[in-house]
Structure 1
């Protein structure tokens, strides 16, 4: 517990006085999936299939910080909430709430969002269910529709109205790869989709820059082979799997690493093309791996490193019949003592660590605060 206390005090000191950076950005716009969704999936799902319950719209989601569910897939805040706090910005609401005040930005991220348009997965029978139309290109369309309203509320009008905004593009790719793995694709086959997925992400970043964006954060993929959900689903197949020294699935993590290497290369080319833009490559992989490799340093018991805080039992505490929020699932008493919150997403403590690492380093190229001060 002493380590947990020290860890908490460290983060409190790092985020104390966040308003001191408020002069840098006047707004925040986020595109992405469930890692930074703040409620759009709940809204879209209710409109599309109102009879189907959405489990993360129930306690214990939100228990740590908000005291009630907010649509975030965590026990509390997610990465972009900590980023907003750093710059003295309000925690963004879901864009689909259609708030009349967009002067501080908007969060367009939706759980399940893909880099490739969803009709590709449906048309090629890669999924056996109807997907929400929430892909990267769709979210870009939402941003384009909102831009005139945002710019009209910005001093100076549309000219340069995005120049003082911070943009997030991602994380994208995890859902694309999950659909492909679930469709029975081999590692080689999944790898073959990486160039197109990365190209779509980079094209979106370029589109934002052309629209006037200057500061864009582009997160890579996390080590999804360490997900308690995927580890459970793979173990139930009774197949011989190859695990790394942490206990994660090597093939899934190799795809994530390949994605991240290719993303870095393409972002490098984009920087050369647009030297005035500040494109920040955010590493989502290494922070998670560092926590799993040295759990004790983060107040996480080694036996819980690959277990989820909120679940329904089993080796990894993830049960498809009792997913977090469903009857039969319970949450641990101290989510900060876990890396994973619900088997796919992370605890507020994990997101806080990642946000700090992106703001100050070392897991961002360049760190966000370094990018804006030089």
Structure 2
């Protein structure tokens, strides 16, 4: 049997909160069509616990349609958190959403000819409203959980605000790239993101100094950007409360 004494990670990149069945019922295609939703991940945790103890999903949906799914998404996250809390979990971190309108792959795939569709950072305003609304509802839920389970440390981890701050003042945080939304590793285009020549494919180059960039490959940030966010989660101000005790 494998050794999980140092922990196990059940996360799947691009995983959804809602199940594949729920998405299919609402004509939303999940790519790939595999159910790695939050309840599935929770099930993996419960299966592992038993062995250790004796005891792209918005395809062609309007912004208003996407917003209508937020309550169900947040409620699913709440149910998963409560399931863990009722099993004795004492530390839970619940991350919010990124400003999706600032992600280079989305900026490329949903580019607009209307200048008014973009904010002063060059992000698509409408798409950012989804993450912003989701985070408002999620923060409210986290606060309710904090009140209901005072014995546990339930932390809301903010992705949205730190990314906005990095884009607003990149040089303050050590990023010297002249176009903050441009990616380090890519195959060309306005943001250096090209779906037919993505990072990791043969011949697709990466910049010589990734630490000067905020965005790595159009989907992920660079290690330098993640380090700033992680530090803000550990010590504040991007986590409520900070992960490390004593930094409140």
TM bucket (normalised to shorter chain) is over 0.9
Shift, 1:319, TM fit: 0.3
- Provide the secondary structure at the position in 1 that maps to 2:94: strand
C-alpha displacement of 1:133: 2.0
TM-score by length of 1: 0.63
Counterpart residue number, 1:202: 78
Contact persistence 2:93–2:157 (CA under 8 A): yes
Residues 1:136 and 2:65 are matched in the alignment: no
Structure ranking higher on relative contact order (CA contacts 8 Å, 6+ apart): 1
Kindly indicate whether the alpha-carbon contact (under 8 Å) linking 1:122 and 1:130 is maintained by their aligned counterparts in 2.
Answer: no
CA shift, 1:238, in A, is 4.9
Is 1:241–1:249's contact at 8 Å kept on the other side of the alignment?
no
Partner of 1:102: 4
| Cα distance in structure 1, aligned partners of 2:28 and 2:186 | 28
Q: Tell me, what secondary structure is at the counterpart of 1:185?
A: coil
The 5 Å alignment of 1:1-374 reads: 100-127=2-29, 130-151=32-53, 178-180=56-58, 182=59, 184-235=60-111, 238=113, 242-301=117-176, 303-370=178-245
Q: Root-mean-square deviation (CA), in Å?
A: 2.0
- The change in CA–CA distance for 1:221 and 1:130 in structure 2 (over 3 A counts) is closer
Instruction: Using the TM superposition, name which of 320-329 and 108-117 deviates more.
Output: 320-329
Whole-Å separation in 1 of the counterparts to 2:204 and 2:121? 26
In structure 1, what is the Cα distance between the partners aligned to 2:104 and 2:31? 23
**1:129–1:254 Cα change, 3 Å:** closer
Cα distance change, pair 256–213 in 1 and its aligned pair in 2 (3 A): same
Distance 1:130 1:358 in 2: 30
Question: Residues 294 and 129 (structure 1 numbering): CA distance in 2 closer, same or farther, change over 3 Å?
Answer: closer
Q: Following TM superposition, by how much is the alpha carbon of 1:314 offset from its aligned partner in structure 2, in angstroms?
A: 1.0
Check the 8 A contact 2:233/2:242 in 1, yes or no. Answer: yes
Deviation at 1:188, TM superposition (A): 1.4
TM-score for both structures, normalised by structure 2: 0.93
User: For 1:281, what is the secondary structure of its paired residue?
Assistant: strand
* Secondary structure in structure 2 of the residue aligned to 1:316: coil
- d(CA) in 2 for partners of 1:179, 1:240: 26
Note the residue ranges of structure 1 that are not aligned, 5 or more in a row. Answer: 1-98, 153-157, 159-177
